[in-house]
């Protein structure tokens, strides 16, 4: 291949691909956080509007505990991901942090969304 057609240095393609993986993993973690935030907002709205036993279900202790757990889960995932993103922007080696953020946020998103659905 002619040198002018190379996208980077010769024999450095794998490194470039791996660097792109970090950004893709961060985007996946950020998307999960967005989905979690939307699901939590919907759950909070539902808890205020749905009436059971003469009052909104959000006033019942069990529902309030569930909403608090959902809020804490979102906050911890957001903090973990933003820390990995900050390190990525700073140019640090973040393979471990970004991989953890992606793994944790993907699992947490399913958990949070399922908890929200169980309120209905």
Cβ-in-10-Å burial (0-12, 13-18, 19+) of 61 comes to exposed
Does 91 reside within a domain? yes
Does 112 reside within a domain? yes
Does 8 reside within a domain? no
Does 2 reside within a domain? no
Residues 91, 95, 97, CA angle at the centre, nearest 5°?
Answer: 90
Does 3 reside within a domain? no
User: Domains in the chain: how many in total?
Assistant: 1
Does 106 reside within a domain? yes
C-alpha 117/C-alpha 70 separation (Å) is: 12
Give the domain range for residue 65. 21-117
Q: What CATH number is given to the structural domain containing 96?
A: 1.20.140.10
The residues near 89 (Cβ < 8 Å, ≥ 6 apart) are none
Does 9 reside within a domain? no
- Residues 18-58: tens digit of each pLDDT: 778 899 999 999 999 999 999 999 999 999 999 999 999 99
- Residues 54-107: tens digit of each pLDDT: 999 999 999 999 999 999 999 999 999 999 999 999 999 899 999 999 999 999
pTM of the predicted structure, to 2 decimals: 0.84
């Amino acid at each position: 291949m002619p040198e002018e057609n190379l996208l980077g240095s010769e024999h450095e393609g794998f490194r470039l691909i791996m660097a792109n993986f970090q950004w893709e993993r961060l985007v996946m973690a950020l998307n999960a956080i967005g989905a979690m935030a939307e699901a939590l907002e919907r759950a909070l709205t539902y808890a205020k509007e749905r009436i059971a036993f003469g009052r909104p279900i959000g006033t019942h202790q069990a529902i309030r505990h569930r909403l608090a757990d959902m809020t804490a889960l979102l906050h911890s995932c957001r903090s973990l991901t933003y820390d990995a993103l900050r390190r990525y922007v700073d140019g640090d080696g973040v393979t471990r942090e970004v991989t953890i953020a992606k793994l944790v946020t993907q699992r947490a998103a399913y958990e949070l969304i399922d908890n929200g659905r169980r309120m209905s």
